[in-house]
Amino acid sequence: MAEVIQIAHQGLTAQVAARLRTLLIEGRIAPGAKLNERVLAEQLRVSRTPLREAIKLLALEGLVDLLPNRGAVAVKLSEADIVNSFEVLAGLESLSGQFAAQRITDREMAELRALHYEMLAAYARRDLSNYYRLNALIHAGINAAARNPVLAATYARINARVQSLRFRTNQDDAKWRRAVAQHEQMLAALTARDAAALGRVLVEHLHDKLGTVLELLRAGEIYPAVKKA
């Protein structure tokens, strides 16, 4: 009986973490904001114990900073942090794409193609939340197909800290349309098992994201003031 309770408890923590992750990524908890346990427990209708465990999990992922005397705070990056993170992510995505093009199975290819078409449907509905969720699954699928757990773990750790920034880059229709076109190119390169082409488009995709993030940051649309590193 104790083992069953433990599994259920772990499942609840994972569910709370997933809901909190969405609030952070979509900016419903603002960057730099303190996570108010009382308010969040009421909002998510859970007790504070699984909530605190979920917050610790998100701190490990890099979405939350645990600060002395302040508690849990939604991550807020400096401009230098953002540039450095995206530069590393571009290199990791390129490498991951090149490995994936060489190692992906037919079944994985079919799953990525299905996710791609679901993502296109979300784009047609202008359903940004589901579009981003499916988009993230596609990038995770490419990482998984690369068959390199060290690369995947490194990518996941860095990417977690910029997820909310990546979410914001598709709120301009022209930029969103370009991102979708780049995903079409990714799928074509992956289908052709063209490692070089897939690596190039993934780097271009990340560079475009970084450019948009910096535009928004400097215009004060991400958070009002960013402390330069």
Q: Does pLDDT of 228 surpass 50?
A: no
Please tell me the predicted confidence (pLDDT) of residue 10: 61
Q: Where in the chain is the domain with CATH 1.20.120.530?
A: 79-218
CATH of 2-74, one of 3.30.70.1450, 1.10.3720.10, 1.10.10.10, 3.40.50.2300: 1.10.10.10
Please tell me the CATH code under which domain 79-218 is placed: 1.20.120.530
Could you tell me the pLDDT band of residue 11, with boundaries at 50, 70 and 90? confident
Q: State what percent of residues in the chain have pLDDT above 90.
A: 72
Residue 228 to residues 79, 82, 182, 222, Cα–Cα distance (Å): 6, 10, 31, 14
Burial pattern 25-35, b for ≥16 Cβ within 10 A else e, equals bebebebeeeb
Please tell me the predicted confidence (pLDDT) of residue 9: 52
Q: What is the mean pLDDT of the chain?
A: 89
Q: What is the tens place of the pLDDT at every residue in 117-146?
A: 999 999 999 999 999 999 999 999 999 999
Q: Which residue has the tokens 């914001």?
A: 168
Q: Does pLDDT of 183 surpass 50?
A: yes
